[in-house]
Homo-oligomer: A and B are copies of this chain.
Amino acid sequence: MSLTHINEQGKASMVDVSAKPVMAREAVARGRIQLQAATLELIRQNEIKKGDVLAVARIAGVQAAKQTANLIPLCHQLPLSKVGMDFEFEEDGISVTAVAKTAAQTGVEMEALTAVSVALLTIYDMCKAVDKAMRLDGVHLVSKTKEVIE
């Protein structure tokens, strides 16, 4: 049988990266959740009933980064050498930044974007009893780099 029509146009597949070099790769992604002033104050004071919002969101983001290839069907499995999460209070919300690193044949931006998205969803989950106007916005890639490994 000929396999020539595997991966023909329009048919989903996990594309072949086996000819690409293993490089040191890093990606930074960011997004934000819009929150009411009262919600922000509860988070700052660590008075949200479900617990310490940023501590939980931080862990959720790190763990989600490691689940990326299981969530995004055509993503390759990448062994992450680092995942870091950063949170900043803004006037009407919280912004989340994630950095992911790997040594692999393909880029690591989906891992950073997934970490940001799940961290934001975790904030949503923890605050949904007190804030009915939350929304996630501006989830985007900040930077993406690759370097030859010596």
- Report which A residues bind B (CB closer than 8 A): 1, 3, 5-7, 9-18, 24, 28, 30-31, 46-47, 49-52, 55-56, 58-60, 62-67, 69-86, 88, 97, 99, 101-105, 109-110, 113-114, 117-118, 120-122, 124-126, 128, 134-142
Q: Flag if A31 contacts B80 (CB, 8 Å).
A: no
Q: List 18 A-B contacts (CB under 8 A).
A: A6-B99, A11-B58, A12-B51, A12-B56, A12-B58, A13-B58, A13-B82, A13-B85, A14-B83, A15-B50, A16-B101, A18-B103, A56-B59, A62-B74, A74-B125, A78-B79, A110-B121, A110-B128
- Chain B neighbourhood of A72, CB < 8 A: 60, 118, 121-122, 125
Interface of A is mostly: mixed
- Chain B neighbourhood of A99, CB < 8 A: 3, 6
Closest to A129 in B: B15
Whole-angstrom CA separation of A63 from B70 in the bound complex: 7
Whole-angstrom CA separation of A122 from B69 in the bound complex: 11
- Chain B neighbourhood of A17, CB < 8 A: 81-82
